[in-house]
Amino acid sequence: MISGRGSMPQPGCSTLLLNGHLMDLSTPQVMGILNVTPDSFFSGCRVQAEADITARAQQILDEGATIIDIGAYSSRPNAEHITADEEMRRLRTGLEIINRNHPDAIISVDTFRADVATMCVEEYGVTIINDIAAGEMDSRMFETVARLKVPYIMMHMQGTPQNMQAEPHYDDLIKEVFLYFARKVQQLRDLGASDIILDPGFGFGKTVEHNYELMAHLEEFAIFELPLLVGVSRKSMITRLLGITPQEALNGTTVLNTISLLKGAHIIRVHDVKEAVETVRIVSKIINPHLL
């Protein structure tokens, strides 16, 4: 059952501290995807040339997103593994362009590497680290984000991008994901990390059935009293179920984003910003009729 009125957002997770300023999560935020990679699964957000990066960043902000999530390492299934140096090179290019054109933009960097996170925060003022591996692919990541004092998105993933979809298996999916997060949240707290955001990891080491089971229980993540990020944009849980391509998956994405928001999501990570912003506005109006 989809939780209705009163399910967004939960007490104790209504703000994020970003460079000394508070981001209000009482109304959900939209994170726009900017991939500086040659092999992202969705070509619509795959940019490399300076003009393309400039245009994509401008589009994300013009359409109403409050966060730009830039990634240089493709995490699609069977993605090519690139070196840290190559990841840094791609990110430097993108971050220099964004900082030059949008110096006040809130930027999240999608990386699992501690050295890359350090470079992005210390050299380019990045405000959020988005780690698909929750520290599993770099043992120094937790101590690094605790030292950097930046909000940290940690995602649940079984395996790595190279093998996560081989044969994902769980004895009890919801229990295992919850225990995974409980253990890692405690590790981060012990290191002094504060702003922690949970991402259930739709499509990462999960079958189509796993993904929909996770969505059905999404409101239960409120027990952690932490902000919840959902990223389902044009993913295989939509395309495989409906027998369509990622290019045809906008409608399915909007449906799942709507369900996610009704179940308590604070941030939705998307390729299609305009449609997501409109979804947030409509769902927020249902939850709080007094909103303009």
Query: Above 70 in pLDDT, residue 22?
Result: yes
In a domain, 8, yes or no: no
Q: Which amino acid is at 198?
A: L
Task: Name the residue among 209, 8, 226, 4 with its Cα closest to residue 134.
Answer: 226
Cβ atoms of 218 and 260 closer than 8 Å: yes
Query: Above 50 in pLDDT, residue 157?
Result: yes
In a domain, 9, yes or no: no
* pLDDT 10s digits, 104-128: 999 999 999 999 999 999 999 999 9
- Give CA–CA dist 27/18, Å, rounded: 16
- Give CA–CA dist 289/292, Å, rounded: 8
- Give CA–CA dist 266/16, Å, rounded: 11
Instruction: Give bridge partners of residue 18 from the DSSP assignment.
Output: 21
Question: What is the domain-level CATH number for residue 137?
Answer: 3.20.20.20
Task: Name the residue among 6, 8, 32, 27 with its Cα closest to residue 16.
Answer: 27
Cβ atoms of 232 and 238 closer than 8 Å: yes
Query: Above 50 in pLDDT, residue 50?
Result: yes
In a domain, 248, yes or no: yes
Cβ atoms of 278 and 257 closer than 8 Å: no
In a domain, 260, yes or no: yes
- Give CA–CA dist 126/139, Å, rounded: 21
In a domain, 252, yes or no: yes
* pLDDT 10s digits, 194-245: 899 999 999 999 999 999 999 999 999 999 999 999 999 999 999 999 999 9
Look up tokens 């409050």; give the residue. Answer: 66
- Give CA–CA dist 31/271, Å, rounded: 9
Mean pLDDT to the nearest integer, 248-262: 98
- Predicted confidence band of residue 69 (pLDDT cuts 50, 70, 90): very high
Number of H helices and number of E strands within the chain?
9, 10
Residue 63 or 9, more confident: 63
Q: Which amino acid is at 228?
A: L
- Give CA–CA dist 135/188, Å, rounded: 10
Count of domains in the chain? 1
Query: Above 50 in pLDDT, residue 1?
Result: no
Question: What range defines the domain where residue 86 resides?
Answer: 15-283
In a domain, 10, yes or no: no
Look up tokens 């300023």; give the residue. Answer: 21
Catalytic residue list = 235, 269
3-state helix, strand, coil in the chain (%, to 5): 45, 15, 40
**Alpha-carbon torsion 46, 50, 53, 56, what sign?**
negative
Structure tokens at 220: 């239960």
Task: Name the residue among 239, 254, 255 with its Cα closest to residue 76.
Answer: 239
In a domain, 266, yes or no: yes
In a domain, 51, yes or no: yes
Cβ atoms of 159 and 205 closer than 8 Å: yes
Phi, psi of 201 (to 5 degrees): 80, 50
Structure tokens at 63: 């359409």
